[in-house]
Chains A and B, each alone.
Chain A
Amino acid sequence: MLTETMSLYVHIPFCARKCNYCDFLSFNAEKELMDEYFDALEKEISKSGRDCKDRTVATIFFGGGTPSFADEKRVCGLLQKIRDGFNVSDDAEISIEVNPASAMRDKLFSYREAGFNRLSIGCQSLNDDELEILGRLHNSSMFIETYNNARAAGFNNINVDVMSALPGQSLDSYVNTLNRVLGLKPEHISAYSLIIEENTPFYDMDLDIPDEDTDRAMYHETKRILKEQGFHRYEISNYALGAEDDDTFECHHNKVYWQRGNYLGLGLGAASMVDNVRWSNTRDIGTYVKELADAESSFAKIRENVEELSCAAQMEEFMFLGLRLVKGVSVENFKENFGKSIFEIYGEVIDKYRDMGLLECAGDGGKYLRLTDKGLDVSNTVMAEFLL
């Protein structure tokens, strides 16, 4: 009996070159190693499928790295393996991230044919100077070409990533990027403001980062312009086309993370949460390939940081993940899940931030607790206090 749904994340850790701001698990590799990796990943998929016979896969997301950098036959082969091994729902959302520098026309057609039905394009900016500082391998015309090819291939659910607060970026330049992207009429926009992470080239560079006022202006322009263009904001950095109650083009896969649905991460370093147990796969490609090549080996050898979530940890996650969604967390769901009222556990913090105008009860007669616009701006400060 298929009762529960789940999601799958597949990690392709390869990139032609690492971007200057990137601190995700990615690197360039020889073809031979990439092939070994795909072999291992196929084994992980088949083996995992056997443990998930009683679940329906509702969303699949291929991320990276740069999935489009790898051989599309191998990538599509993985999706086939998934279909073979798991019960993938007919209307499953199946996304893949692509990069304009590597997502050639043929590749996009192959993806669509294989069953991918949602595309996420790493555009970041349409100003070529900004793209160069970021260390991206594409320019603005390559992005537009990729976008048009994707439409031609039949993708009717496309996300475009754009970034604000880039080195040397002016408000005008950012708004220009945003407007040109909107002119292409994508269904979804992820708008991130650049965060300089340690262990990235940007961290040690002397950069001309926009000042705080400019940064805030970009952020507020994003909200204003996207609303004007018929998008609604459903998560801190994510906007979907359609009215607030229309979730058609929201990224259902990402919402699983925020709403604590079950998801299995496949591939190097991929994170999972199934039945309130979290773990992540090894980040060492040598170990990953070696252990999966061994038919006798168990997943224990590649799974790390296994944590069975305590009730308190589950409550914490419920709050700090759920509050990322503009809709907020459901007061009823909290009670259903934990048998206690949200106000009993978090009354003090809720009152404090309600008084400060950062939290509010709203939606369906106050059934949801959510961050206000002001609260979303400083969400970390508020979320930190939901840790028990």
Chain B
Amino acid sequence: MDQSKIRNFCIVAHIDHGKSTLADRMIEKTGVLTLREMQNQVLDNMDIERERGITIKSQAVRMIYKAKDGQEYTFNMIDTPGHVDFGYEVSRSLAACDGAILVVDATQGVEAQTLANVYMALDHDLDVFPVINKIDLPSAMPQEAKDEIEDVIGIEAQDAPLISAKNGIGIEEVLEAVVHKIPAPQGDASAPLKALIFDSIYDSYRGVIVFVRIKDGVVRKGMKVRFMATGAEAEVVEVGYFAPGSFVPSDELTAGEVGYFTASIKNIQDTRVGDTVTDSAKPCSEALPGYKKVMPMVYCGLYPADSAHYSDLRDALEKLQLNDASLFYEPETSQALGFGFRAGFLGLLHLEVVQERLEREYDLNLVTTAPSVVYKVHKTDGEVFDLTNPTNLPDPSEIDYMEEPIVNGEIMVTTDYVGAIMQLCQERRGKYLSTDYIEQTRAILKYELPLNEIIYDFFDALKSRSRGYASFDYELKGYEKSDLVKLDILINREEVDALSFIVHKDGAYERGRKMCEKLKEEIPRHLFEIPIQASVGGKVIARETVKAYRKDVLAKCYGGDITRKKKLLEKQKEGKKKMRQIGNVEVPQSAFLSVLKLDNVD
């Protein structure tokens, strides 16, 4: 294929600025799909994305566009996630592109993640051009948005297409701009195969489906390929393109193209995202630079609700990791929850997304423990180790001191809510750095915040205290010494390891009290009284009591309708099954989750 007629690009935007809608319209206009076939949002085919209106898993789609110059162009659009937690996935998608469309909401202007994503695109040497979306809204300020893009980001924006993706305004202009502003790929089709794996999924019939961008050379059916990082080799069974929602087989993929291949690969560890694929018979001299390795920031325990499903959970995590390389996990055991995994995530949203994917796509019922960041523990004997599970904290007498991760946080907020947000940051042990006014009505607040203060419900609190107007971005600054303690929860005098967590000494009482209150609501009454206690270093600092119930009778049972009574008992029994046995106490799964969201103030 003539590379000059190929455009590989992605769309970057702040969350909610209309990226997926624009993608849908472009697919529609290029005629790959009829209107009737269009689902509401073609690219976001995962339920959870549709519900939350965010795009999580990157995907690619190929379209044919007949431009005003009369030529047909092949567009490969690679969808990228919009959330800060998914910076890693954005990065791997960008590596497969030559340019990017930046979508900016005409009513919102440049937001924190707009910046983060654009800088990442520029880092990958992509050519970026902006489009101004939602221009049909009454509150749209397209000129201000253009000026802001030039001022804040520093890219040319005056001739940016003014569009409404929702109402299909200006889409043609965007398609033309892709042709003219995004460079054609510059690969060498006659060189040895060099292809970048930017994603992969597992299919039970075809094995691993590898998503590739061909940099040089050709890949075709029957060819023997080698994965350069792992050294694995396989024979290509099928190659093809991405149509929206489906795979379209073709004869070959050549330099500059984006597509997929299968090779009956059963071992998903063989095909690492970021690895380079080459021709076994005629390998290229060196691999493409891989992606930047990302470190998980947040850890939590993942346990099957029913311990019989441990191996199902393991298989699911294995498959999930295949197309979410940022997911880390290793086996662990909990006294309260049995066999499970300690998993590492990029952030709390990433955690929630993985959890929901496991539950929805793999039909698993999970119990998640309180998320924890990675602490550095300096022991008196000089040893230093990373603590990812609070349960593993040594006895206080063996600890010299501990350090916790600190992030540089940037909160963009309208000036009305600056006071409220500053107060929130103070409550979360934030260290104020500066306030920059980007325009009269908006400011960027800069704070140093301990990561463990933002992993629980900081986003929720931020949204509620700014009525949704604040956005937040952060990056790891480093570790700082901190006065931390382990807070333990005892249910009926038994310590529940899955509920232990590390907290700053000053916040221990408050958090312990709230956890006890929450658990009191969650734990059903039993035949006996149940004390719920929070303790630090063996000293109880808060207590609640679940009173014993004294009555559980179905008094009236009428006309011999036994079935109804049995159903009631079955429901009672079924409810019990979903409980975790801690000593004599049955604790519902929801209790483990509820303590993650304690600060639902006002």
Contact surface of A with B, Cβ cutoff 8 Å: 9, 11, 24, 61, 63, 192-193, 195, 212, 215-216, 219, 236-237, 256-257, 263, 265, 270-273, 278, 280, 305, 307, 316-317, 320-321, 324, 356, 358, 376-381, 383-385, 387
Contacts and interface: CB of A to CB of B under 8 A. Distances in A.
Contact of A321 (B550, B556, B558, B562): B562
Given A271-B559, A320-B569, 17 more contacts: A11-B559, A195-B554, A216-B550, A237-B555, A257-B562, A265-B560, A271-B561, A278-B562, A280-B563, A317-B566, A358-B527, A378-B550, A378-B552, A379-B554, A380-B554, A381-B572, A383-B569
A320 B552 contact: no
Contact of A377 (B553, B556, B560, B570): B553
A236 B555 contact: yes
B562 A271 contact: yes
Contact of B557 (A216, A324, A376): A324
Contact of A212 (B550, B559, B562, B572): B550
B527 A378 contact: yes
Nearest to A353: B527
Contact of B555 (A9, A192, A263, A378): A192
Nearest to B553: A379
A19 to B, nearest CB: 13
B573 interface: yes
B432 interface: no
Contacts of B552: 377-381
Contacts of A195: 554-556
A377 B550 contact: yes
Given A9-B560, A320-B566, A384 B573 contact: yes
A376 B551 contact: no
B560 A387 contact: no
B50 interface: no
Nearest to A309: B562
B576 interface: yes
A212 B552 CA distance: 12
Contacts of A192: 555-556
B481 interface: no
Interface string B574-595: 0010000000000000000000
Contacts of B565: 320
Nearest 4 interchain pairs by C-beta: A384-B572, A378-B552, A192-B555, A380-B552
Contact of A273 (B556, B560, B572): B560
Contacts of A270: 559
A256 B555 CA distance: 17
A216 B573 contact: no
A115 B463 CA distance: 74
B248 interface: no
A63 B556 CA distance: 14
B438 interface: no
A387 B575 CA distance: 13
5 contacts: A24-B558, A212-B551, A256-B560, A324-B557, A387-B566
A63 B554 CA distance: 19
A195 B576 CA distance: 22
B523 to A, nearest CB: 15
Contacts of B559: 9, 11, 24, 61, 63, 265, 270-271
B568 interface: yes
B527 A381 contact: yes
A387 B570 contact: yes
A317 B553 contact: no
Given A215-B551, A378-B549, A384 B576 contact: yes
A15 B327 CA distance: 64
A150 B589 CA distance: 56
Contacts of A307: 563
B563 A384 contact: no
A3 to B, nearest CB: 22
A281 B94 CA distance: 66
Nearest to A219: B551
B556 A316 contact: no
Contact of A257 (B527, B549, B550, B557): B557
A280 B563 CA distance: 9
Contacts of B573: 384-385, 387
A216 B573 CA distance: 25
Given A219-B551, A377-B550, A385-B573, A237 B560 contact: no
Among A273, A324, A358, A384, the one with the most B-chain Cβ atoms within 10 Å of its Cβ is: A384
Interface in B308-333: none
A121 to B, nearest CB: 16
